[in-house]
Structure 1
Amino acid sequence: MQNRSINSLVIILISSLLLSACSMSDWWNGHYATRAALTDAYNEQVAYYAAESPEQRELRRHNQQICNAKYKDADAAYDNCMRRLGTPEWPG
């Protein structure tokens, strides 16, 4: 009876060490720091667009249609078009 409990404790200990080793490697490789930075940037972007007035949102929609028609696959040209029309994109 005691051998079974010792064996099960050893199995639990080994499995917990293996699981913590995986999370430690993620931490060491910067996974959690990268995820936190991406979350912060996303929250800042959401706050940037949420702070716009309804008129500004409507102007942005209108300008997006204009700039999408002119500069379909040119990212820098699209950004310049939006900035020129008065609705700059999120700088992040």
Structure 2
Amino acid sequence: MDLAAKIRTIPTSAGVYLYKNAEGEVIYVGKAKNLRNRVASYFHAGRAEDAKTGTLVREAVDVDYIIVANNKEALALENHLIKQRKPRFN
């Protein structure tokens, strides 16, 4: 499944998302109240004009997500995963 198709299947729940590059390396970790909307927002026109975001969007070939119960859990998990994985775009 390509990335655009996968994004359309992401639930609208709160959670944490992990962008991966072609080597399967986690390159960015983020949190969202609505996973699908947040992940899709990276690919909207104008968003990729920012140098960092543009590079992230070009390198991202996959996205994983973890659903959580609320925003507090999302923040805690995001912080944990950033410390653990050390993604280069965070």
- TM-score w.r.t. structure 2 length? 0.21
Q: With the length of structure 1 as denominator, give the TM-score of the two structures.
A: 0.21
Query: Rg larger in 1 or in 2?
Result: 1
Richer in helix (by share): 1
Higher relative contact order structure (alpha carbons within 8 Å, sequence separation ≥ 6): 2
